[in-house]
Amino acid sequence: MQESTDYPPGENLFAPIRWTAWDTPLRIAIHPKVADDATEFPRLVLVCLGNGWMRITSTRRPLTAVSTAIRVAREHDTSVVSALISAPRPRMGAVCGSLFKRLQLEGYRYRGHGIFEALDVPQALSVLAQTIRVEPPPAPPAVAKTDATATATTPPSPSIEHKEPQMTDNTPAHKPSMDGLIPVFVGRIGGVEQHVCNARDLHAFLEVGRDFTNWIKDRIEKYKFVENQDFTIDSPNLANQRSGRGGDRRSVTYHLTLDMAKELSMVENNDKGRMARRYFIECERKALGMAAAGATQSLPQEVEDACETRAWRLAEEWRSMGMTLLGPTPRPENIETLWLAAGVVKARTKERLVALTHGMVKKGHGATSVSSWVLNWQPPGYSTWNQVSWH
């Protein structure tokens, strides 16, 4: 039996958003008024994940939407906490699309597939109410701390090591680290010390389906990676293998730059590859942050705070100009790229400001005057770029 979707005359297209249920996934599954394909119009479904993400969709199949969110949650080592489901309503797809745009304009990061980071129900409803009337939702569920919800965590944060575990001939096949998706550590490629990863760890995480040796050799040849620039090979039997006299191939270790690791992840063109690429980007951010933190140890706190504030402001101004260039209907992947780029701009800007202020402090300039200079600092050419009219 279909749920009634009758609206008072003249209200159907401008009706407020009403809510049917806000409950845990198990209770939603048995709710008498929630079923797939049971209504003429779609519903708005807001699914809250344990790591602070929210998946938003407009659909006539709310149970399927919740099931999809559960699958996504498992892929990111978390769980679904609750789902808020609206009553069916005409033009719900347009309402959902408008909500997506406004959330992104408000600064909420969009990950694709209807998922926003660091978003809860009150925040989402507050943004939604800017364009349409929204009735108060039901009381949120009292979620018991089951094993699944109690152990829910955010996606693993990058773990940057300073030494790679030693391999022996009896070392088993590499498996993804539980502390981070793929271990990242300090190594040397082409005589330059930098953060690297072991290609076997990346191969294991990507679940490529091909043996490691043929996979890595094929990728190096196909994408023209250069030894001692993009990667290095370490093996006690390397001379024997290159001369064709044999040797244990399992002992060969490929260390990759994070740039090469990101490219290898991207060309796999699957969810695992995209997850690994984002992970390596976070590793780079963390490394930059660690370097900046080390450099600021001798700076007065007032100056350090000014460097952080100015870096964030410039990065946000840069991102805002990018959003203007993208136009009123930017593609989600372009918005995500802007967020990633803004993070790099922020890290690089702070790094530069820290270096500049170190010199000023050493020359005897006071913390207040240095902080004032930092808060008004502009990179070369910035004023010209900022004054360009985009209309």
Task: Give residue-wise pLDDT tens across range 338-384.
Answer: 777 777 788 888 888 888 888 888 888 888 889 999 998 888 765 54
Do 117 and 237 lie in one domain? The reply is: no
Is 336 a member of any domain? yes
For 288, half-sphere exposure in the C-beta direction (CA atoms, 13 angstrom radius) is: 17
What's the number of domains the chain is made of? 3
Q: Which two tokens stand for residue 331?
A: 């593609």
Q: What is the pLDDT of residue 179?
A: 43
Q: Which residues contact 98 (CB under 8 A, 6 or more apart)?
A: 131, 132
Q: Which two tokens stand for residue 46?
A: 């807001």
**Which domain covers residue 68, as residue numbers?**
19-150
Q: What is the pLDDT of residue 284?
A: 77
Do 142 and 24 lie in one domain? The reply is: yes
Do 196 and 115 lie in one domain? The reply is: no
Q: What is the pLDDT of residue 1?
A: 32
Q: What is the pLDDT of residue 10?
A: 41
Q: What is the pLDDT of residue 264?
A: 93
Q: Which residues contact 133 (CB under 8 A, 6 or more apart)?
A: 15, 16, 17
Residue spans of the chain under pLDDT 70: 1-14, 143-180, 235-251, 288-297, 333, 336, 381-391
Do 241 and 332 lie in one domain? The reply is: no
Do 141 and 58 lie in one domain? The reply is: yes
Return d(Cα 72, Cα 364) in angstroms, integer.
55
Do 303 and 184 lie in one domain? The reply is: no
Q: What is the pLDDT of residue 144?
A: 38
What is the SS3 assignment for 85? strand
Return d(Cα 391, Cα 385) in angstroms, integer.
14
Torsion-angle region of 150 (φ positive above 0: left; ψ -120 to 50: alpha; else: beta): alpha
Is 231 a member of any domain? yes
